[in-house]
Amino acid sequence: METEMHRFGTSEEDDEDMGLDVKEEGENDEDDDEKNSTPTMVGVDGVLVTSNRSNNRFQHQHQQQFQDQLTPQGGGQRRCRPTEEKERTKLRERQRRAITAKILAGLRRHGNYNLRVRADINDVIAALAREAGWVVLPDGTTFPSRSQGVRPAVGASTAVVTSPTSLPLLQNQGSSLRGMSSTCPVGINDEACQMKGLYVPSSSAYDTSASAHSQSSHMLGVEVDGQDDPIIGVSVDTVGCRQVDMRSKLQERDFAGTPYVPVYVFLPLGVINMKCELVDPDTLLNQLRVLKSINVDGVIIDCWWGIVEAHVPQEYNWKGYKRLFQMVRDLKLKLQVVMSFHECGGYVGDDVCIPLPHWVAEIGRSNPDIFFTDRSGRHNPECLSWGIDKERVLRGRTASEVYFDYMRSFRVDFDEYFVDGTISMIEIGLGPCGELRYPSYPVKHGWRYPGVGEFQCYDRYMMKSLTKAAETRGHSFWAKGPENAGSYNSRPHETGFFCDGGDYDSYYGRFFLNWYSQFLTNHGDRILSLAKLAFEGTFITAKLPGIHWWYKTASHAAELTAGFYNPSNRDGYAPIMEMLKKHGVALNFTLAQMGISDPHMDSSEALEDPDGLAWQVMNAAWDSCIPVISENSLPCLDKVSYNHVLEKAKPLNDPDGRHYSAFTYLRLGPLLMEPHNIMEFERFVKRMHGEAVLEIHA
């Protein structure tokens, strides 16, 4: 038995420490003795390498050895461990937990891993795998990202088996997940070769060089020959006399020589306070200098209607913005400015609350129909209803006139920044979050992903428009919203309107959805025509959201409630592109990242397709010769996320060479400024600029 234990790099005492599950303190130890007879292989540095419960020869042999060791001579029942041994086991468990706690604390502090408070070894492995370029789904399914290629054949190579518990410690000492070697080499025999899918870390997640592959050969006591299998077409390594399937190394695409895509960084939401004062200018100045040093093209800032015109109509306070703009110009950075006519707060990434102007809120208290309203009569003060675009309900002005006066004031007060080219782009806010959409999924009203949302057309001004449209059609009884569209958190199949073959495709459904989506397009057309007057000669953009959940259903329910009439049998984005092209306005499309960057959302039943939606929207824009700008919707700090953005920004093998006209990074903050993150971001910027880059090593 002692000989067998040394074959796997451990002893009988180590086996007792690592091979037997230890219950929490206070649990029944007798049950622990009876249940934990599962065989365990112990590898280098105490790695647990377990196989499944199949009846293979390898598992059966060692199961019998464990039983022989734990069973008294002559057979019979297993002996019960003495009290002292149980206490030693509990003490070892406490020590193990203390070490685990320190490892997790170090990863959170120094490695920028987003680990929950009660993280376990699965969370650690998942975090390390994601950093290495793998996609890890919530259910544990793990696979390479799309940007990774198949490893080419190389010469002599070797495998390295490393303890998972040692990975965080090695990383904090300056190593990455790639290229880690154990202090104790392991010999791989014929028995171990029966285990398929052996994972071998390399010196880099994306390194395909022969030197990197051969580097690991000096870390192991066996030789492994690499070759391409002619049948399966993937890399297979031969260990001794057996073939072992090896994970393909991760191939990172080279963007050197590709088109230059400018990169802008969104400034923090709270950089200007409610008194229109610049907050913490010294820290901001240092951060801007860092951005300038890594050749970021410029920054983006929201100009909040609720701050500038907060108290009295047509009294504009631009004081804090003037100081900020001067700081940006002194550093020779470009500026993009967002005309933000919506409320801030309540969505992902919103860490401040900026309401609509006080005088607007006063009007809303006496006339709540100036806000979007759902079927239950709940009003949403997030932004003004498009039904009052031409209604003089805002102290004698229409909503369109209020927006135009605000834009004209900005253009006059900051004329010098337009003249010298510091302000390079203006984005016009057209709805909630500045996006051209209805506020159909408000978290404040109880919506949770992936609910279909609700139609937002029940204020009296929009209902008046619907009534007129129904009467014009000759069916006055159609002057109502759908009655079987469910609630905010319904699924399409649970409703009579959105289900397959549902009322969305009936005569009434097509009439209502045409009116609902046309109202959205008309609002965008109206406000953008005024923006062209206010900012003549300036590059203007409008933002569309990436509503990708339920995209694989026939109705595209979440898009319908948001105002995009885009079921599977209709292109709902073509009319919007025609409207943007009419005004010469560029498209800013929010890049959906749910599949790789937001493990907290359950997308297993949402039938989402972020890539399919992005493909449809971007091609609709490019086919109309509309420039496309994009921004990330979720935090983006790691290589996998950056590669995802790069692949979308510069599509591979596009016959027309189409690409983003610019990219907006959300958002500037202390986390981005941490050394490793800013180095990775600098590398991303260079690749967006089409420059050659080198691999970053910790």
Residue 649 contacts residue 263 (beta carbons within 8 Å): no
Give the span between the Cα atoms of 568 and 578, in whole angstroms.
Answer: 20
- Please report whether residue 12 resides in a domain: no
The confidence score (pLDDT) of residue 191 equals 37
Residue with tokens 């692949």: 647
Give the span between the Cα atoms of 464 and 515, in whole angstroms.
Answer: 12
Single out the residue of 352, 150, 119, 391 nearest to residue 251, CA to CA.
150
Give the span between the Cα atoms of 73 and 658, in whole angstroms.
Answer: 76
Which residue did the predictor score with more confidence, 45 or 679? 679
655: domain range?
263-593+605-689
Single out the residue of 615, 595, 596, 612 nearest to residue 658, CA to CA.
615
**For 595-632, how does the pLDDT look when each residue is reduced to its tens digit (9 = 90+)?**
443 445 556 689 999 989 999 999 999 999 999 999 99
- Please report whether residue 3 resides in a domain: no
- Please report whether residue 370 resides in a domain: yes
- Strands, DSSP E only, in 242-305? 242-245, 263-266, 298-304
Give pTM, 2 decimals.
0.66
Same domain membership, residue 276 and residue 127: no
Task: Decide if pLDDT at 21 tops 50.
Answer: no
Residue 592 contacts residue 633 (beta carbons within 8 Å): yes
Give the span between the Cα atoms of 108 and 127, in whole angstroms.
Answer: 11
Region 405-421 average pLDDT: 97
Give the span between the Cα atoms of 462 and 369, in whole angstroms.
Answer: 9
Give the span between the Cα atoms of 159 and 221, in whole angstroms.
Answer: 9
Q: Which region among 1-15, 406-420, 427-441, 628-642 has the lowest average model confidence (pLDDT)?
A: 1-15
In 550-609, which ranges are continuous DSSP H helix? 557-562, 574-583, 594-597
Q: How many domains does the chain have?
A: 2
Which residues fall within 8 angstroms of residue 149, CB to CB, at 6 or more apart? 248, 250, 251
- Please report whether residue 39 resides in a domain: no
> DSSP for 475-531?
-GGG-S--SSS--TT--GGGSTTTSTT-GGGSHHHHHHHHHHHHHHHHHHHHHHHHH
**Segment of 68-72, 103-107, 232-236, 310-314 carrying the highest mean pLDDT:** 310-314
- Please report whether residue 191 resides in a domain: no
- Please report whether residue 72 resides in a domain: no
Task: Decide if pLDDT at 40 tops 80.
Answer: no
**For 75-113, how does the pLDDT look when each residue is reduced to its tens digit (9 = 90+)?**
444 455 678 888 888 888 888 888 877 777 777 667 666
Residue 213 contacts residue 202 (beta carbons within 8 Å): yes
- Token pair belonging to 11: 């002893």
Single out the residue of 42, 57, 38 nearest to residue 7, CA to CA.
42
3-state SS string for 432-443: HHHECCCCCCCH
- Please report whether residue 123 resides in a domain: yes
- Strands, DSSP E only, in 142-240? 142-144, 156-157, 224-228, 235-239
- Please report whether residue 1 resides in a domain: no
**CATH code at position 631:** 3.20.20.80
Residue with tokens 């029942």: 77
**For 143-199, how does the pLDDT look when each residue is reduced to its tens digit (9 = 90+)?**
775 444 433 333 333 333 333 333 332 233 333 333 333 333 333 333 333 332 333
Q: Would you please indicate which residues are annotated as catalytic (active-site) residues?
A: 435, 631
> What is the enclosing helix (H) or strand (E) of 262?
none
